[in-house]
Structure 1
């Protein structure tokens, strides 16, 4: 009797170890369409016995999505051959269905892999689907870009973000860790990440926008544009002084990695100014000039600060240094003209000296006018009016023209 009980226990133990698929998994694996399988998975995910079953269920979704991809891809290939060899006819295919299937296959493959990588009951990690899914899904990954472009043309920002975002997210997903990217580097990642960041910002998803900017900034081809967007995004969240100080620290970190970037320098210097950190700003600008005497932004900012402090000689000298580097910067030309006018006004008892200064200013401001005739970059018309009025009088046609522009 005792032996029979032991045998029965062993039998029960064997049944438990080698139990078959759960009923929810069986139902999912029997599904004929992606929509049916997806619905069953969403409803029964918590009822699946373990991570292995969840991985199998997600893999079923990948299989069904890939069936759709293969079907439409066959038509696409046939159409390409028909066009190339001018034989046969071009057939319509389910364009959106194809892109949706690509997205569904990729997304569910990544979700399923998270379960496929979990230890089994013996504590061993033995992924069942990683190898096959990694290869077949990586091959169709570029179609996510086409899908994003398709929805972008339709001005569907949310869908465009979905596709471009998945392309970026999948670049570092563990499912593809075995892909040798050194032989076939991802040449599209930087630009797609930049575009995804723009769409994320338009969709008010600042977290994703910042994350995609970080990816784009690793690509030298799009670094500058991505950096512009990154700094703009960071500025959107500045509500308190604490936020601004944290932004300054972030900028300092970015600047430390790219110390020759004048755009970062100028932004950081202006932040010091807006936070009334005058000593830090002055030191920062002077250090930059000492390190790089040809830095246009540093001389321009030094001149602007001196102008605002009514240190006219220093302002004039700094602006002229800036213009030696970039002689066609309309803003600096206008500031220089304004500063020289102020110098002229300060020596009203020296008519000859005053006239000489106004003539110098006139030449500078007329150059600004020629470069920016519609005053889109700087309002050169007011200091030029001062010059004409002082040199030619109130009734001169040139003076009246400037007067009309300033009304």
Structure 2
């Protein structure tokens, strides 16, 4: 009797060990289209017996998506050959369907890999699908960029974001851990990450926008544009003083990482000023000029602070330092002219007054030539003061400036 029981237990064990696919999995594996299989996976995923079955189910989705990819690729290749050799007819192909199939294949393979990496009944990890999926999908990633561009041109920001973000996510996904990426470095990653951040922000996904812009900032080729976007994203939603202080702290972190970056420096110094953190602002400008005596931004900010504080002489000196470094900055030229006029107005000696107005006039006329439509700075009023003093009220140049200031 005991032997019979043992035999029966062994039989049950053997039956379990060699059990076939579950009925829900069989239905998925019989699917003829991606949509059919996808619906079955969604509705019956929790009914699948284990991680192995779930990996099989998602791999079926990869296979069906790749059928569409292969079909459209065949047409594309045929069209290219026909165009190259002048033989055969161009065939229409499903561009959107092709890009969506690439995206579906990628997403399904990533999901497949998640279950494929889980331990089996014996506690061992033996992935069945990772290598084959990685090999057939890695080379298709650039089509995600094309799909993103097409969606963006169609103003489908959600689909554009999905394509671009998937391209970035797949660059480091465990599915592709076996791919040797050193042979062909990803030259598009930084720019695609920056664009993904833009679309994430447009879709009100601020956390993802920060995620992708941080990736973009690691690429020196797009660092400047990515930094602009990072600062812009950080500036949004500053409604309270606490928000602004948090923003300043984030800027300080960025500045510690890249202390030679003028944009971060100028933004941080300006924020100190707007929060009335005058001591911090003075210190950061002083430190910058100690390390970089010819830093335009530092001299410009120093001059603005001095001008606002009524320290005209000091402001003139700082603005002259700044304009000596960049003599085409219309704002600084205008500020310098304004300060020279202010100094002249407080003098009692006519000859000294006129000399200052003449100096100011030359500077402001240069600002006028660089910015004739006053898009960057309103140089017309201080220039009017110069013309009025030097040429008189009835001079044509004075009249012209008077008209501009009405």
TM-score grouping bracket, smaller chain normalisation? over 0.9
CA shift at 1:139, angstroms? 1.3
Question: What are the within-5 Å matches in structure 2 for residues 203-222 of structure 1?
Answer: 203-222=203-222
In the alignment, what sits opposite 2:14? 14
SS at match of 1:24: helix
In structure 2, what is the Cα distance between the partners aligned to 1:170 and 1:239?
Answer: 36
Unaligned runs of 5+ in 2: none
Cross-structure match for 1:148 = 148
Partner of residue 65, structure 1 = 65
Superposed CA deviations along residues 176-207 of structure 1, whole A, max 9, x for unmatched, are 11111110111111111122222222222222
Which residue is equivalent to 2:201? 201
* 1:352 Cα offset (Å): 1.3
Mapped partners of 1:113, 1:240: distance in 2:
45
Q: CA deviation at 1:6?
A: 2.2
Distance 1:170 1:244 in 2: 35
Following superposition, the deviation at residue 94 of structure 1 comes to 1.2
Partner deviation per Cα, 1:268-301 (whole Å, 9 max, x = no partner)? 1111111111000000001000100111000000
Deviates further, 297-306 or 116-125: 116-125
- Extract unaligned runs of 5+ from structure 1: none
- 1:355 pairs with 2:366: no
Q: Following superposition of structure 1 onto structure 2, how do residues 164-175 of structure 1 map, counting pairs within 5 Å?
A: 164-175=164-175
2:47 aligned partner: 47
Shift, 1:329, TM fit: 0.3
Specify the alignment match of 1:268 in structure 2: 268
CA separation in 2, counterparts of 1:86 and 1:145?
Answer: 29
Q: CA offset at residue 241 of structure 1? A: 2.1
* Structure 1 residue 232: Cα displacement: 0.4
State the distance in 1 between where 2:352 and 2:51 align. Answer: 87
Q: Any idea what the Cα deviations from partners look like across 1:222-271, whole Å, max 9, x if unmatched?
A: 11011101110110132222222222222222222222211111011111
Confirm whether residue 184 of structure 1 aligns to residue 184 of structure 2. yes
User: What pairs with 1:234-383 in structure 2 (closer than 5 Å)?
Assistant: 234-347=234-347, 349-383=348-382
Distance 2:135 2:126 in 1: 17
User: Greater CA deviation, 57-66 or 108-117?
Assistant: 108-117
> Which residue of structure 2 aligns with residue 399 of structure 1?
398
2:103 counterpart residue number: 103
Which residue number corresponds to residue 131 of structure 2?
131
Q: Which deviates further from its counterpart, 147-156 or 11-20?
A: 11-20
For 1:177 and 1:406, the matched residues in 2 are separated by 65
Q: Distance in 2 between matches of 1:14 and 1:137?
A: 37
Deviates more, 1:65-74 or 1:120-129: 120-129
RMSD: 1.2
Deviations 1:88-114 (A, max 9, x none): 111111111111111100111111111
Secondary structure at the counterpart of residue 303 of structure 2: helix
Task: Say how many residue pairs are matched.
Answer: 406
How far apart are the structure 1 equivalents of 2:238 and 2:135?
44
Distance 1:57 1:271 in 2: 54
